[in-house]
Chain A
Amino acid sequence: MKLARVLALAGKEAREVRRDRLYLLLAFVLPLILLVVFAYGMTTDVEGIGLVVIDEDGTPASRRYAEGFLSTRHFVHARADAAAARGETALIDARARVVLWIGPHFERDLNAGRPAEVLAQIDGAFTTSARTIHGYLEAINAQTNAELRTETVAAGGARAPSAAGVVAPVQLQTRFLYNPELRSVVTVAPSLLMLVLLLVPPLLIAVSVVREKESGAIFNIASSTVTRLEFLLGKLIPVVAIGVANGLLLWVVVIVWFGVPFRGSVPQFALAIVLYVLATSGLGLLVSATVRTQQAAIIITTITAVIVAVQFAGMFAPLETASPVNRALARLFPAADFLAIVRGMYLRGAGIDIFWPELLALVAYAVLVLALAHALFHKRTTA
């Protein structure tokens, strides 16, 4: 291997990248767009959901009950006329996602010790958020019930603190560690690093190789004394540099823009990014060794990245809960290992002492994929 030739190839590549506006856009703007769009798009938080209250009772008790929902950050009051039919209209035209109907004898029933009836209608078109909304409604309702019971017991003579003890003898105190407010962006944004770096470097490298196949410039290499390894390194160096730069940029954006705390070690994290980008770029080289057109390269790299990220990386559910087949498939890609490292470092501040198996897996993966690409790439082809 001649270093001079690798440098000539890498230098040429860098020049082309600098002067090609579309490629620059693809290399530096696309990752940011992907991060921001997906981070907001994948958020499962339920906040500011429109709630219509149809209060047919109109008593202090019913108002207090409704206030229990509207005083949280999860719901906002959506105006609608006090008619049941109108409430549903609000659901249909999507001004609200929940209609809370409080019956005409709410206060009377409460005072009489009869169960007071309340109806909540939830827009079920979005199953996940509907389920979450249901959870909030139940919790807030339970909270109100507990308060009411406490009042009843207290009214019966017991002092307030002990009344609470009578009503709920066991009090469960929950603390969510690392993400105390359970903001979903805290988990989504770092995992997008995994997705973006699985998509962009392979796309860049596959396009740059296949573009030369299409134009015939690849024959400049094939008919010269440049070795296969030199050629692949010449393509790899600029793309890995771009990929790592992207990774670090996104790392900062996740911290600064999305306010996700980073508790790990920066050099260790940089090392993980380098290894991961090497591995994913290797995937791009593999694709480019097997296809002839840029369209095919773009479609294959994009679809692979999205499927792997969504299905086989543990982005939405931990991999331990996946089927054995899916877990085996996940092992074919470096995404799961990197995601484990990313989440661990951002939120838990875990270090190399914990993640060395994942880092080793990334090393092995990079070596294997690059060796395979080298074996598949030929200067003298059969077609």
Chain B
Amino acid sequence: MPGTGAGVAAVRPAAVSTINAPVVALDGIGKRYGRMLAVDDVSLKVDRGRLYGLIGADGAGKSSLMKMVAGVLAHDCGTVEVFGVRIDSERAAERVKARLGFMPQGLGLNLYPELSVEENIDFFARLRQVSAAELAPRKQQLLEMTRLAAFRTRAAKNLSGGMKQKLGLVCTLIHAPELIVLDEPTTGVDPVSRRDFWAILAQLIDGQRLTALVSTAYLDEASRFDRLALMHVGRVLAEGEPAELVAAAGLRVAQVQAEPAALARLAAHFAQTEQTVGAGRVVVTADDDESAVAAVRAALGSDEHPVPKIVITPPDLEDLFVARLQALDGTATIRPAPDADGRFERNRDQRPERADVEASVGTRNATPVPAPDHNGGTHAIDAQSLTRDFGGFRAVDRASFIVRYGEIFGLLGANGAGKTTAIKMLTGILPPSAGIGRVAGADMRQAGQAIKERIGYMSQAFSLYTDLTVMENLLLFAGIYGLTREQARSRAQWAVALGDLHGHEREPAGRLPMGLRQRLALGCALLHQPRVLFLDEPTSGVDPIGRRRFWDTLRRLAREQGVAILLTTHYMAEADLCDRIALMFAGRVVADATPTQLKAELTAERGQLLEVSAEPPLAALAALRAGGFAEAVLHGRRLHVLAHNAAEAGTRIGAALAAAGLAAARIAPQTLTMEDVFIHRVLALEAAAQAQAAA
């Protein structure tokens, strides 16, 4: 209701306005911090009872927007209406605060670390003046739903990341608000806890007519929202229902099997290409499948033998996001990394996509080329029963794995599984309590400074000096590694080229966007030409294009220079890009194989993945669980089930839904993702651990 003053809104009959009016209505809002434009002309509406998503990388403007809705940040222009009240002053904002809950960014940071779980909840309840009679059952219900009931007396500082995030949600919900605003509640949380969190949120929205505005940096979470806005540097790039957005995008994904030469031609034609052994995946601008196939054939050339096999699938939101970003910014194509001498293989001025993207294709999942190390071996990292105890707590428990030169090795695991501790032992920061970690042929317990010169380490925290410029940071790190002035200058140039930081040399590192910062940090870790590279969550908060370029750089380092790379990540899409994965659970390595092997193992054990679309999803989930699919999980608005016999399972699913009085579902087989693998593995391990504890 634009133009309606707050005073008028107050006397409007509540019954009419609250049912039909959007809960949140933003119209042309803008926000500036000094010279930086954080939010630029954003308009959107959130309807009652919806789960609305704001998706974007760091610096997209999500947090500012959410704070303006929560009434804790003033906007510069445009109008913000919440529950029909125009928020244009501190006083006006106060009028809606009783009805909303806000959870700021930062995993559990808004909790009081010294207080216990229950004390935190009680404090929020007293602030919100929840009566004792209301509080008791609500607290009980929320604690059970989040499975925190057993931890009432534990101090918030001693909770895991996933538990903190759930406690934060409970505290935000304790006064039964009509609208909750959650700022990146899943960032830095492992996939299992994340899926758990979304399931709880779906349950609450379904049961309580709650409206939620939630932001995330994970694009693969986008399908969980009823409606979403894709944001980039303060602007909304696309807004709508996920399915509708994908349908309206005019994009198709073509999976092509062809000779490498043909695939290279494809890469030259399409801005978004990924290449694996003998197969390619390209995003095609086309309104229907036929024209997509035609476009791919045209790019491949007609004389191709054997005739390439082309499968057309709908694009996912990340494809859409990347396409929009590329359209927005002509430079957003992926650039080749320079070779060791700092030269590019191609003339840099040869601008448009064709040449640049051709080089960007990389060779995804191609067999890595092992390069010998100084001692002639091929094991860059050799962890043998690495163990680390902190007091009575065993953070890493007899972890063994091997990383070869030229290999990208992913260390996955929930928060607190021991990944960072393992990396710290292998980089010589932390001595192991037992076991041996050999890196580049040397035992890290005895290895002195010499071995540290052969490894590069990029820590979870941003390790650059934000007040120094890009070039000053590079030269400083070169100095720390003891390079001569000449070496330092040439390596700094190499790093600038590697990270595509041209034109940013004199900018303070603190002012760079996240993607560039991470590439600068990577450059700093590579200045001394290490043979082994450790990366701890290198792409957190980076936008999809930034992530793709980062990975492209990593692949080139591994393939062309034979660098061994060990990394950790919470993005399961990135896990798929690793050559090899070790999954950690409670300090132990519980699986060590290639992503393909891990998926094949899960399929062999549990069957193939079926995606069930049924409305309403929560009722359908309950029906499936009651009907013998105990491990069915909610994935956005769809359900995921594993079954050996798809046809037989389809019949059982139909029967289970019918028994609950629900309409027949659409069931489609899906390819397994690393996320499915991760979640099934971890849930099984958790169940086993619980059974053991109970016995």
Among A215, A217, A380, point to the contact of B71 (Cβ < 8 A): A380
A54 to B: closest C-beta gap in Å: 58
A17 to B: closest C-beta gap in Å: 9
Binary B-proximity of A218-242 (CB < 8 A = 1, otherwise 0): 0111111110000000000000000
Task: Please tell me if A108 contacts chain B, counting CB pairs below 8 Å.
Answer: no
Measured in the bound complex, the distance between the Cα atoms of B326 and A235 in whole Å is 50
Say yes or no: A217 contacts B112, CB within 8 Å.
Answer: yes
Measured in the bound complex, the distance between the Cα atoms of B104 and A222 in whole Å is 11
A16 to B: closest C-beta gap in Å: 5
Say yes or no: A381 contacts B97, CB within 8 Å.
Answer: no
Task: Please tell me if B537 contacts chain A, counting CB pairs below 8 Å.
Answer: no
Say yes or no: B97 contacts A382, CB within 8 Å.
Answer: no
Number of A-B contacts (CB under 8 A): 87
Say yes or no: B104 contacts A381, CB within 8 Å.
Answer: no
Say yes or no: A8 contacts B73, CB within 8 Å.
Answer: no
Q: Within 8 Å CB of A219, what residues of B?
A: 67, 70, 72, 102, 104, 110
Say yes or no: A217 contacts B109, CB within 8 Å.
Answer: yes
Measured in the bound complex, the distance between the Cα atoms of B87 and A223 in whole Å is 13
Q: Given A5-B127, A8-B123, A217-B112, are A380 and B98 neighbors across the interface (CB < 8 Å)?
A: no
Measured in the bound complex, the distance between the Cα atoms of B102 and A216 in whole Å is 11
Interface residues in B72-110 by Cβ distance below 8 A to A read 72-74, 89-90, 93-94, 97-98, 100-102, 104-106, 109-110
Among A2, A19, A223, A378, point to the contact of B101 (Cβ < 8 A): A223
Q: Within 8 Å CB of A1, what residues of B?
A: none
Q: Given A16-B112, A217-B109, A383-B33, are A223 and B72 neighbors across the interface (CB < 8 Å)?
A: yes
Task: Please tell me if B115 contacts chain A, counting CB pairs below 8 Å.
Answer: yes
Say yes or no: A378 contacts B90, CB within 8 Å.
Answer: yes
Measured in the bound complex, the distance between the Cα atoms of B102 and A16 in whole Å is 22
A62 to B: closest C-beta gap in Å: 68
Q: Within 8 Å CB of B181, what residues of A?
A: 223
B211 to A: closest C-beta gap in Å: 15
B593 to A: closest C-beta gap in Å: 40
Task: Please tell me if B288 contacts chain A, counting CB pairs below 8 Å.
Answer: no
Among A16, A20, A217, A225, point to the contact of B97 (Cβ < 8 A): A225
Task: Please tell me if A12 contacts chain B, counting CB pairs below 8 Å.
Answer: yes
Among A19, A216, A222, A382, point to the contact of B105 (Cβ < 8 A): A216
Q: Given A220-B127, A383-B33, are A15 and B119 neighbors across the interface (CB < 8 Å)?
A: yes
Q: Within 8 Å CB of A99, what residues of B?
A: none
Measured in the bound complex, the distance between the Cα atoms of B106 and A225 in whole Å is 22
Which residue on A lies nearest to B126, using beta carbons? A8
Chain B contact residues (Cβ within 8 angstroms of A): what range? 35 or more
Task: Please tell me if A185 contacts chain B, counting CB pairs below 8 Å.
Answer: no
Q: Within 8 Å CB of A19, what residues of B?
A: 114-115, 155
Interface residues in B115-170 by Cβ distance below 8 A to A read 115, 119, 123-124, 126-129, 155
Among A9, A217, A225, point to the contact of B94 (Cβ < 8 A): A225
Task: Please tell me if B111 contacts chain A, counting CB pairs below 8 Å.
Answer: yes
Among B72, B111, B112, point to the contact of A379 (Cβ < 8 A): B72
Which residue on A lies nearest to B76, using beta carbons? A382
Q: Given A382-B74, A383-B33, are A224 and B110 neighbors across the interface (CB < 8 Å)?
A: no
Which residue on B lies nearest to A5, using beta carbons? B127
B177 to A: closest C-beta gap in Å: 10
Say yes or no: B128 contacts A16, CB within 8 Å.
Answer: no
Binary B-proximity of A346-383 (CB < 8 A = 1, otherwise 0): 00000000000000000000000000000000111111
A58 to B: closest C-beta gap in Å: 68
Which residue on A lies nearest to B181, using beta carbons? A223
Say yes or no: B114 contacts A216, CB within 8 Å.
Answer: no
Interface residues in A250-285 by Cβ distance below 8 A to B read none
Measured in the bound complex, the distance between the Cα atoms of B70 and A16 in whole Å is 26
Q: Within 8 Å CB of A221, what residues of B?
A: 127
Task: Please tell me if A172 contacts chain B, counting CB pairs below 8 Å.
Answer: no
Measured in the bound complex, the distance between the Cα atoms of B89 and A130 in whole Å is 64
Q: Which of A9, A220, A221 has the most CB of B within 10 A?
A: A220
Measured in the bound complex, the distance between the Cα atoms of B115 and A217 in whole Å is 13
Q: Which of A15, A19, A222 has the most CB of B within 10 A?
A: A222
Measured in the bound complex, the distance between the Cα atoms of B67 and A216 in whole Å is 11
Say yes or no: B93 contacts A224, CB within 8 Å.
Answer: no
Measured in the bound complex, the distance between the Cα atoms of B652 and A275 in whole Å is 76
Which residue on A lies nearest to B69, using beta carbons? A223
Which residue on B lies nearest to A217, using beta carbons? B110
Binary B-proximity of A295-331 (CB < 8 A = 1, otherwise 0): 0000000000000000000000000000000000000
4 further interface pairs, Cβ-Cβ under 8 Å (given A222-B72, A380-B89)? A20-B114, A216-B104, A216-B105, A219-B104
Binding site for B on A (CB under 8 A): 2, 4-5, 7-9, 12, 15-16, 19-20, 215-217, 219-226, 378-383
For the complex of A and B, the 6 pairs showing the least CB-CB separation, nearest first, are A8-B126, A223-B102, A216-B104, A19-B114, A222-B72, A219-B104
30 contacts between A and B (CB under 8 A): A2-B129, A4-B126, A4-B129, A5-B126, A7-B126, A8-B126, A16-B115, A19-B114, A19-B155, A20-B114, A215-B109, A216-B104, A217-B110, A217-B112, A219-B110, A220-B171, A223-B70, A223-B100, A223-B101, A223-B181, A225-B94, A225-B98, A225-B128, A225-B129, A379-B72, A379-B90, A380-B93, A381-B72, A381-B73, A381-B74
